Amino acid sequence: MDRRAALKLLAAGTAVSALSPQLFATFRRIHANLPQTPTLKILSAHQDATVTAAAELLLPPTETPGAKAARVNEFIDHILADWYSEEDRKRFLDGLSDMDSQSQKLFGKDFAVASPEQQAEVFQILGDELALALEALANAPPGYRGEAPEPENNFYVMFRELTLTGYFTSEIGATQALHEVIIPGHFDGCTPLATSREQKGS
């Protein structure tokens, strides 16, 4: 599966549940190769703070650690740098700017420093905008030639799926949320082997 196809799959809303074992392993390797000291490739410090706040809003710490602990912001930065085209990267960064614009208009502050309740309101607006666009298309008269918003072209969808994928393919997400065993089970040499008769009867 090439990278463009992988990104389309993420944008389709199926994310982790539809990832092939190969692609899941690829994303796991991205996490494993993140440097010990966070180093950003694309995001500025302000953009990184916005991504971190928004990801933590979607996946806050509960009985398991949240998106920030899973280094989802660094995962997203890596995808932006090494997977996204220039066009898609610009669309994503413009979406971050729009979040700040919405937050400034409503609350007089950037998204990253708004309260969780205010951040949730901004995110709700983004989701409502997408829903309204889809509803307008569904209610359009016969012969309307408009097209549905492409999921991979919509910042709200892009961000949500990148966050979910970044979280659930991290070690924290895979071991604590998905309960995946990263290290294969040990060999138990004391387990008796089945006899020939038992094997034939199975």
> Would you state the torsion angle of the CA atoms of residues 148, 152, 157, 160, taken in this order, to the nearest 10 degrees?
170
Query: Which band of pLDDT confidence, cut at 50, 70 and 90, is reported for residue 7?
Result: low
The SS3 call for residue 77 is helix
Identity at 173, one-letter amino acid code: G
What is the average pLDDT score of the chain?
78
- Confidence (pLDDT) at 194: 46
160 contacts 166 by C-beta, under 8 angstroms:
no
- What confidence tens digit (pLDDT) does each residue in 37-59 have? 989 999 999 999 999 999 999 99
What tokens appear for 134 in the block? 């889809």
Looking at per-residue confidence, does 35 or 189 come out higher? 35
Q: Please give the pLDDT value at position 50.
A: 97
The whole-number pLDDT of residue 5 equals 53
Task: Give residue limits of the domains in the chain.
Answer: 3-180
**Residue 184, token pair as written in the block:** 């294969």
Whole-angstrom CA distances from 70 to 13, 27, 76, 162 are 20, 13, 11, 13
The CB-side HSE value for 87 (13 A sphere, CA atoms) comes to 4
Give the pTM: 0.76
29 touches 68 (CB < 8 A)? no
pLDDT in tens, 124-143: 998 887 777 666 656 656 55
Number of helices (H), then strands (E), belonging to the chain: the values are 10, 0
Residue 89: is its pLDDT beyond 60? Answer: yes
- Count the neighbouring beta carbons within 10 Å of the beta carbon of residue 37: 5
Total Cβ atoms within 10 A of residue 64:
14
- What is the percentage of the chain residues whose pLDDT exceeds 90? 43
Average pLDDT of 23-27?
85
Q: According to the model, what pLDDT value does residue 22 have?
A: 81
pLDDT-derived band at 94, boundaries 50, 70, 90: very high
Query: How many CA atoms does the CB half-sphere of 75 hold within 13 Å?
Result: 28
The rounded distance, in Å, linking the Cα atoms of 82 and 96 is: 19
